[in-house]
Chains A and B, each alone.
Chain A
Amino acid sequence: MDSTQLIAIFGSILLQSAPLIIAVCGETISERAGIINLSLDGSLLLSALAGFAAALLTGSLLLGFLAAAAVGAIFALIVAFGSLHLRQNQVAIGFVLAMLGDSLSAFLGQNYTRLPGPSVPAWHIPVLKDVPVLGPILFRQDAVVYFALLLVAATWWFLFRTRAGLELRSAGERPEAAFTRGVAVRKLRYIYAVLGGALVGIAGAAYSLDVKIGWAEGHTRGMGWIALAIVIFGGWSPLRGALGAVLFGATKALATVLQRSFPQVALVAFNAVPWLLMILVLVLVSGRLAAPLLAQAPAALRRPLRGLLQAAPPAALGQPLDDN
């Protein structure tokens, strides 16, 4: 394998990971504000269908992405409303929505199956595309990839470098304290849950209009749950989450390459990789396994390693709000 091939593989891994990166950023924003949106798998499916159908019917990619964002936002709004106004369990509502989104996409999508449709065109950035190595990987992509990369940076900067981001995190960590200090916790949770949901919807359209063009029943099934696991792996940070999404994409690409080299190994072994990986990384970041490993590490490395391996969820994640 020469370097051009390798660069092409890296470029394709980045493209394949882009929707996952967008969904992980959206869910990270929502969970940082204290709302678990467990409906991701269903909302990705339905928004992938909505995006594809809207773009096909109107001929406008932009309207496709907007329709998908609206679907994702509505799902998130239902979770937020159920939790913030009706004080119901976020996990239960999210789970039911995940199932419902799946069935709705199967039913509504029956006439859109395997139709040719529009797709996001490639858009090479002048000058930057000619930078050696990085140019072909990062800048000979399309708008979805650039959006995903900018979103990671913007989300990180917003969460950790702005006052509004601090208020967002306080709504997820210490809602009572934030409320006493004049932060409108309920309003913030609504805003960021819906914003996160809209991003998940955009991720759905990124599949059906760019990465896995078209629609078929169960088009993105499983990716929502993987995105939720990556948020945990990412320690509720968009940077680490994006890294997790790319690593996941890389593992899948590696499995595909290996599969070609070892055709005698059953296909099932390679299909099992994402799920085995999910269990493995969740054990790793939970700290039960990481703690003994860290004890073995040289003292100077322990602190940075711990920061890399472990992370605690926002303290009030999933909790109801007692503001009156």
Chain B
Amino acid sequence: MSQPKPRLERIWPLLPGLAALLVTTLLLLAMGTSPIDAYSAMWQGAFGTSARVYSVLAFLVPLLLAASGLLLTFKAGLWNIGIEGQIIMGAVAASWVALRVQLPAGLQIPLELLAAMAGGALWAALAGILKTRGGVHEIFGGLALNNLAILFTNYLIAGPWQPPEGGSFRGTQPFGAHALLPLFENSRLSLLSLALAVVAFAGVALVLTNSHWGLRLKALGQNARSAFLLGVSSNREMLLAMAVCGALAGLGGGVRVLSWFDSLRQSISGGIGYLALMVVLLAGFRLVLTPLVAFFFSAVLNGSITLQLRTQLHSALGDILTGVLVLLVLLFGNYERVRRAFRRRRSQADG
């Protein structure tokens, strides 16, 4: 085999995207659906009307909040899979204020959002303490806490918070209008929440590029032992990174109940936390790419919901498209690494 040509290197970043499209196209053909119809339904679902675009942006808000938080925990070397539960507990805490507390107009929503952040931070701190004090890896502590958060939501909906008419396992009664975020042009988008997500992302970017805390997190993530020797208290920094990430995720959960829905629902997050992990992995932990990838994911998933409505095909097709893309970029995204791997194998075969 000759040396790979530079031309290949130039188109390399496009190949995972094309391959992912190929996979979903084959799946569509296998299901007997015209891929052109399917992709056009997805495009229409994401960008067909201005209402659809607002919906994409509304879905983006919690996703971007969670992804911003994950940039911090990944920097500290933590796999915060518990982020799904942190979103849910943020939604629960916001719902508690919305259902049980009656405040003057200017205070109601800020308190709900603060409660959401506290709920998420608390749940994240729990995973953090299980790691630092209990020696439980954050992946397993986080997963257990995710499932406990889902069960807790189900318990609240079916039990203490069930609607007065009772019997509903789908959600609580809708919150009063005073408790909900104002929506933009009859969509599910709250401009306030979008602004908060942008500010949160900018804040995280600033912390990571321009603060001493960002440096300490980086030291911790790259080598926990030497960071400790340099005087970085690894447990404290880890807990703090978890709590801040949890607060941002919790805020996203609050936005879900206060604008996307109007009540606490069973699948209140529905996997946004796991999706945020995929976003950050695809972005390769790079700041600039994170919001772009989050927007792309949001568009694909909103589009695949329209696809399901129009063609009865399962909306998981959108997750497959993004999942294959993330997998291929993780595996083959780095051209140099791939080239070296194959060159090494050749040299072994020769020798």
Contacting pair B135 A103 (CB below 8 A): no
B47 within 8 A of A: no
Known: A100-B327, A107-B317, A282-B136. A95 touches B144 (CB 8 A): no
Chain B binder among A25-33, A82-90, A138-146: A82-90
B345 and A268 contacting across the interface, CB-CB below 8 Å: no
Contact A275–B144 (Cβ < 8 Å) = yes
Pick from B79, B323, B337: contact of A87, CB under 8 Å:
B337
A302: shortest Cβ distance to chain B, in Å?
A: 19
Give a binary string over B304-347; 1 marks a CB under 8 Å from any A CB, 0 the rest. 00000000011011011001101100111000011001001100
Q: In the assembly, what is the distance between CA of A118 and CA of B112, in Å? A: 52
Distance A97 CA – B277 CA, assembled complex (angstroms): 13
- Bound complex: CA A25 to CA B306 (Å): 42
Q: How far is the CA of A289 from the CA of B129 in the complex (A)?
A: 13
Q: Does A275 contact B148, Cβ atoms closer than 8 Å?
A: yes
Contacts A96-B281, A289-B134 given; does A91 touch B139 at CB 8 Å:
yes
Chain B's interface size range is 35 or more
A106 touches B (CB below 8 Å): yes
Contact A86 B341 (CB under 8 A): yes
Question: Does B14 sit at the interface, judged by CB under 8 A?
Answer: no
Secondary structure at the B interface, as helix, strand, loop or mixed, is helix
Q: Kindly list chain A residues whose C-beta atoms are within 8 Å of the C-beta of B344.
A: 324
Instruction: Evaluate contact between A283 and B130: CB separation under 8 angstroms.
Output: yes
Q: B5 at interface (Cβ–Cβ under 8 A)?
A: no
Report how many A-B pairs have Cβ atoms within 8 Å. 123
Q: Report Cα–Cα, A87/B323, bound state, in Å.
A: 20
**Closest residue to B152 on the A side, CB-wise?**
A268
Is B303 positioned at the interface, with any CB of A under 8 Å from its CB? no
Contact (Cβ within 8 A) A95 B324 = no
Scan B113-155; emit 1 where CB is below 8 A from any A CB, else 0. 0000000000000000010011111011101110110011011
A266 engages B320 (CB within 8 Å):
no
Report how far A106 CA is from B315 CA in the complex, Å.
9
B331 touches A279 (CB 8 A): no
A-B pairs with beta carbons under 8 Å apart, 13 shown: A85-B341, A86-B331, A86-B338, A88-B330, A96-B326, A96-B327, A100-B327, A103-B320, A103-B323, A272-B147, A272-B148, A276-B148, A282-B135
For the complex of A and B, the 10 pairs showing the least CB-CB separation, nearest first, are A286-B135, A103-B319, A100-B323, A268-B155, A106-B316, A283-B134, A107-B316, A275-B144, A103-B316, A288-B135
Interface of A with B (CB < 8 Å)? 38, 78, 81-82, 85-89, 91-93, 95-97, 99-100, 102-104, 106-108, 110, 222, 225, 228-229, 232, 266, 268, 271-272, 275-276, 278-279, 282-283, 286-289, 324
